Structure 1
Amino acid sequence: MKQLPESGFLRLPQIIGDAKRNIPALIPVSKSAWWCGVASGKYPKSVKLGARTTVWRVEDIRAMISAA
C-alpha cells in the first residue's frame, strides 16, 4: 500500500486510482461500485468541501483498509 498521510483528505481518483493520470488504486473498484458502496454503508461517507469538491477523510480510509 502506498504511503498515506496521517490526516487530511483524499479525492476519489486517489482512492480508486486513475490509469490516465498513472495513479494506483488503494481500493480496486469502479467509480459506480464505490458510490454504491458509499450509499450502502460499505465504504466511508464523503465530505463535501464545496459545490464540486467531494473528499474522504484519510483516517476513515485507513480504518476501512485495516479492517479488511
Structure 2
Amino acid sequence: MNALAQIDRRADSILRISDVRRRTGLSTATIYRREAARTFPRKQHLGPKMVGWYQSDVDAWVADPVGYRS
C-alpha cells in the first residue's frame, strides 16, 4: 500500500474524550500528553471547540499501548 494512500474512514466511529478515557483508563491530561509525544492517536478537529478520536485508532492503541506510534 502506498504510504500516501488515504485510509477509508467512512465506517469508522468518532469517540469523544469521555469515551476515550473509559476505553483506555487514562486521564484527559495523560491522553493529551501522550498525543504530544506521538504515543497515542491524534485527535481530529470536528468543530471550533470539538475534537474526537477514530475508534479504530484507539482500538489499535488499546491492543498495544507500549508499541503504539502515531
Q: Same fold (TM over 0.5)?
A: yes
Structure 1 residue 31: deviation in Å? 1.1
Q: Which runs of 4+ in 1 moved over 4 A?
A: none
Bigger CA drift: 36-45 or 25-34?
25-34
Structural RMSD (CA): 1.3
Query: What 5-or-longer segments of structure 2 have no aligned partner?
Result: 1-10, 66-70
Residue among 4, 9, 13 paired with 2:14: 9
- What is the CA–CA distance in structure 1 between the aligned matches of 2:34 and 2:26, rounded to whole Å? 10
- What is the CA–CA distance in structure 2 between the aligned matches of 1:58 and 1:29, rounded to whole Å? 15
> Structure 1 length as normaliser, TM-score?
0.73
Pairs aligned (count): 55
Which residue of 1 is the match for residue 37 of structure 2? 40
Answer with 1 or 2: which has the greater Rg. 2
Query: What 5-or-longer segments of structure 1 have no aligned partner?
Result: 1-5, 17-24
